[in-house]
A and B are shown apart, each in its own frame.
Chain A
Amino acid sequence: MRGEPAGSERVGAAVKAVEARGLVKVYQGARKERVRALDGLNLTIGHGEYLVLLGPSGCGKTTLLRTIAGLEQPTEGEVHIGGHLANGLPPRLRRVAMVFQSYALYPHKTVRHNIEFPLKAEHVPRHMRERKVRWAADLLGIPHLLGRKPRHLSGGERQRVALARALVREPAVFLLDEPLSNLDAKLRATTRDELRRFQQEIGTTTIYVTHDQDEAMGLGDRVAVLDAGRLRQVGTPRDIYDEPADTFVATFVGSPPMNLVSRGDRLVGFRPEHLLPAENVAYDSRVTMPLRIDRIEYLSGDRHVYGSVTRIGLETRVIARLPATVITPLTVGETHEFAVPADRLRFFDAEYGTRTAPVRIGG
C-alpha cells in the first residue's frame, strides 16, 4: 500500500530537498477560537521532484507552503530544507521562492525592476543582474514586457513575471500556490503544460498547490492529498485514483466520485465507470447488483445513470458512467442488473474510512 505517511518512507543516503516532520500549525482566530490548520503533517520531497499538493479549500495547503517558506512559524514540528533544519530561519535564508496566488507583483515597479528586486537584495553586481533578468525573461517569453507596470499586464503575463521573479534567485525549491486559479479556463490548460515543461527544463524541486484534481493528476510526479491539515495519501496519480487510501481520497478524487455502499462494518467502493450493465462485464469474476434507474444524463457521448442499488449492502444511491461503446438500452424507472469486476472493488472500514483487506462478496 502506498497510502502510508511519507515521513516513514525509508530516508536513504540521499538528502531530501524538503522534509516536514510532524508539522502542527494552530492559528489564533478571531474571538479566541483556535484553528488547527496543520495537524501533524509529515511529507518528504526528493531533489528535482514535482510534487502536487491537492486538497479542498481551507485544508491548509497555503499554510503548509507558508510554513515551508518561513512566513509562518510552525506551532510544533520541523521543516528541513536541503537536509538542514529551517525552523527559526528567516525566509531570505531558506533559498525558497514562492509564487503567490495573487502573484504579489510590486505594483509601482516595472516588470524589469520586479524581476531585478531579489537580485538587488542579494547585492548582485549590475551587469550580472542584467544578464539574469534577460535570461529569465527570455525563458518565459516576456522580454517585450520589461518596461511595463503590472497594471498593464494580462493575468497570464503577470503570472509569468511572478515566475521570472521567483526564478532569478535560482532557489532550491519553488512553491507555487494555485498559480492557475486566476486564469481563464483556456489559458489554464495551455499554461499547465508550459509550467510542467518549464520545470523539466530547470529541474528545480517544486511544490505545486491546487484544489483542482484535473490539474493535480495531470501535472504531478507524485500527488499528496491533504484534508483538514492531515496528509491522507501520497502517491502517483494512478495510485491515488486506483488505490485510494481512504474514503476521503476515494470521494475527493474522480468525477463523479467513487460509489460507496455500506455493508456491515465495511464500505464497498467502486468507480462509476466500472459499474456497467451486467452483460458488459466478464462473467467469471464479477459482483452483480440490481440498479433501479432514476435518471439518465447524456454527457459528451457517455451516459451517466443515477439510481439505487441493493443486494450487495444497504440500499444506496450510486452513479454509473457508461461509455458510448456500451449500447445496452436502459429506461428510467426500470431495474436492471448491473455488475462490477471483482478486482475493481475497494473496501474501507465503515467507522474510520481507512482501506481494509478485500472481503468476498458472493454473486
Chain B
Amino acid sequence: MNGVAARTRARELDRQRRWSVVRHVVARAAVYAVAAGAALVCAAPFLWGLVTAFVHDRGGPGASGGPIRTGRAPTAEHVRFLFRSTPFPAFVVNTLIVGSLVAVVTLALALPAAYALARLNRSWGTPARMAILLVYLVPPSLLFLSFSRIVATLGLADSFWALVLVYPTVTVPVSVWLLTGFLKAVPVDIEEQAMVDGHSRLGAFARVVAPLVFPGVVAVVVLAFTLSAGEFAYALTFVWSNARMPVSTGMPARLGNGDPLLWQSMQGGAVFVAVPLAMAANLFLDRFVAGVTPHR
C-alpha cells in the first residue's frame, strides 16, 4: 500500500474514531437525561402533592407570597386530618373490596376462556380472541346511562356491588388477551404428559398448567385492581353516598368545595393510593411485556 495514502486513511479513521466516541457519550447522556426527565415529569404532580401535604397551611386562599411558607418544620397535621376526619379511609376500604372481588370474578371468567382460546384448537379461536379484545374498546361512557337503569332495576343502586357486577366488562377482555399469551408460552408437552399420566384435560389444566401461569395470574390481578381503582364513569353514576364511594369518585366529590386544608390532605391521599399501585405494576412489568408480545 502506498505510504502516504495509508497515513491519510489512518488519520481519517482516527477522526472517525474520536467522533464515534463523542456520539457514544452523547447517546448515553441522552438516555440518562430522558430517563431522568421522564421520571420527573411523570412524578411531578405527586411530588408536589407530597411536599404540600407536609407543609403548614398558609392561612387560607388569596394570601400573598410563594406557594410554600418556608422556615417551618414539616407537619403531619394534614395527613392526620385525612385519616381521622375525612371519609378517605372508607374510600380506600371500598376500593380494596371492589378491587379484590373484581379480581376474583375476572380470574374465574378469564382463565378458562383464555385456556379455551390458547389450547383447545377450534377454528373460531382467533376470531373469538379478537372479538373479546374489541369489547375492551367499548367505553363505559357509552354504556353508563343504560347501566344506571339496569342497576336500579336489580336493586343495586348506590351500592358498590353494582361496581363488582360491571367492572369485569372492562377487565375480562384484557385479561383474556394477556392470559392467552401466557398460556401459549407453556409447552403443550407438559400438559400432554399429565394427560398420558392419567389426568383428564381438566385435571391437567388445574394441576399442571394453572401453576405454571401463576405469574400471568398475578399480573391479571394487578391489572384488574388497577383498572377497577381507576374507573370513573360507572362509579360516578352508580354510587352517590359518601360512605360507599371508591377512591376515584370519592376524592373529587369531597373536593368540590375548595377548602385548601382538605386539598392539602387529599394530595397526601393521592400519593398514598398511587405509589402501591405503581409498585405492584412495576414488579410485573416484564411479565406484562412478555404476555403482550406476539408469539411468532
Instruction: Show the binding face of A for B, using Cβ within 8 Å.
Output: 15, 83-85, 87-90, 93
Question: In the complex the two chains form, is B20's CB within 8 Å of A84's CB?
Answer: no
Question: In the complex the two chains form, is B13's CB within 8 Å of A89's CB?
Answer: yes
Known A84-B9, A93-B13; further 17 A-B contacts with Cβ < 8 A: A15-B1, A83-B1, A83-B6, A84-B6, A84-B10, A84-B13, A85-B13, A87-B17, A88-B17, A88-B20, A88-B21, A89-B13, A89-B16, A89-B17, A89-B20, A90-B16, A93-B16
Chain A nearest CB: distance from B234 CB in Å?
41
Question: In the complex the two chains form, is B20's CB within 8 Å of A90's CB?
Answer: yes
Chain A nearest CB: distance from B248 CB in Å?
39
Chain A binding site: helix, strand, loop or mixed by DSSP?
loop
CA distance A241 to B9 in the complex (A): 41
CA distance A87 to B1 in the complex (A): 21
CA distance A87 to B6 in the complex (A): 17
CA distance A90 to B19 in the complex (A): 10
Q: Which residues of A contact B21 (CB under 8 A)?
A: 88
Q: Which 3 A-B pairs have the closest CB atoms?
A: A88-B17, A90-B20, A84-B13
Q: Which residues of A contact B9 (CB under 8 A)?
A: 84
Nearest neighbor of B18 in chain A, beta-carbon distance: A88
Chain A nearest CB: distance from B14 CB in Å?
9
Nearest neighbor of A13 in chain B, beta-carbon distance: B1
A–B complex contacts, Cβ < 8 Å, 18 sampled: A15-B1, A83-B1, A83-B6, A84-B6, A84-B9, A84-B10, A84-B13, A85-B13, A87-B17, A88-B17, A88-B20, A88-B21, A89-B13, A89-B16, A89-B20, A90-B16, A90-B20, A93-B13
Chain A nearest CB: distance from B227 CB in Å?
32
Nearest neighbor of A107 in chain B, beta-carbon distance: B296
CA distance A93 to B12 in the complex (A): 11
Q: Which residues of B contact A15 (CB under 8 A)?
A: 1
Q: Which residues of A contact B16 (CB under 8 A)?
A: 89-90, 93
CA distance A260 to B175 in the complex (A): 61
Instruction: Show the binding face of B for A, using Cβ within 8 Å.
Output: 1, 6, 9-10, 13, 16-17, 20-21
Q: Which residues of A contact B10 (CB under 8 A)?
A: 84
Q: Which residues of A contact B17 (CB under 8 A)?
A: 87-89
Number of A-B contacts (CB under 8 A): 20
Chain B nearest CB: distance from A276 CB in Å?
47
CA distance A93 to B13 in the complex (A): 8
CA distance A93 to B14 in the complex (A): 11
Nearest neighbor of A81 in chain B, beta-carbon distance: B13
Nearest neighbor of A73 in chain B, beta-carbon distance: B24
Chain B nearest CB: distance from A142 CB in Å?
25
Nearest neighbor of B17 in chain A, beta-carbon distance: A88
Chain A nearest CB: distance from B1 CB in Å?
6
Q: Which residues of B contact A87 (CB under 8 A)?
A: 17
Nearest neighbor of B21 in chain A, beta-carbon distance: A88
Nearest neighbor of A14 in chain B, beta-carbon distance: B1
Q: Which residues of A contact B6 (CB under 8 A)?
A: 83-84
CA distance A151 to B156 in the complex (A): 55
CA distance A93 to B10 in the complex (A): 12
CA distance A88 to B6 in the complex (A): 18
Chain B nearest CB: distance from A150 CB in Å?
13
Chain A nearest CB: distance from B7 CB in Å?
10
Nearest neighbor of A93 in chain B, beta-carbon distance: B16
Nearest neighbor of B13 in chain A, beta-carbon distance: A84
CA distance A192 to B47 in the complex (A): 64
CA distance A90 to B20 in the complex (A): 7
CA distance A220 to B1 in the complex (A): 27
CA distance A315 to B9 in the complex (A): 62
Chain A nearest CB: distance from B36 CB in Å?
24
Q: Which residues of B contact A90 (CB under 8 A)?
A: 16, 20
CA distance A303 to B215 in the complex (A): 55
Nearest neighbor of A86 in chain B, beta-carbon distance: B13
Chain A nearest CB: distance from B290 CB in Å?
16
Chain B nearest CB: distance from A223 CB in Å?
28
Q: Which residues of A contact B1 (CB under 8 A)?
A: 15, 83
Q: Which residues of B contact A85 (CB under 8 A)?
A: 13
Chain A nearest CB: distance from B161 CB in Å?
47
Chain B nearest CB: distance from A94 CB in Å?
10
Nearest neighbor of B20 in chain A, beta-carbon distance: A90
Nearest neighbor of A88 in chain B, beta-carbon distance: B17
Chain A nearest CB: distance from B246 CB in Å?
41
CA distance A85 to B17 in the complex (A): 10
Chain B nearest CB: distance from A252 CB in Å?
33
CA distance A15 to B6 in the complex (A): 11
CA distance A83 to B16 in the complex (A): 16
Chain A nearest CB: distance from B192 CB in Å?
27
CA distance A89 to B9 in the complex (A): 13
Chain A nearest CB: distance from B44 CB in Å?
34
CA distance A87 to B16 in the complex (A): 11
Chain A nearest CB: distance from B27 CB in Å?
12
Q: Which residues of B contact A88 (CB under 8 A)?
A: 17, 20-21
Nearest neighbor of B1 in chain A, beta-carbon distance: A15
Nearest neighbor of A90 in chain B, beta-carbon distance: B20
Chain A nearest CB: distance from B177 CB in Å?
24
Chain B nearest CB: distance from A345 CB in Å?
46
CA distance A84 to B13 in the complex (A): 8
CA distance A87 to B10 in the complex (A): 12
CA distance A205 to B145 in the complex (A): 74
| Residue from the set A85, A88, A89, A93 with the largest chain B CB neighbour count within 10 Å | A88
Nearest neighbor of A70 in chain B, beta-carbon distance: B20
Chain A nearest CB: distance from B287 CB in Å?
17
Chain A nearest CB: distance from B249 CB in Å?
45
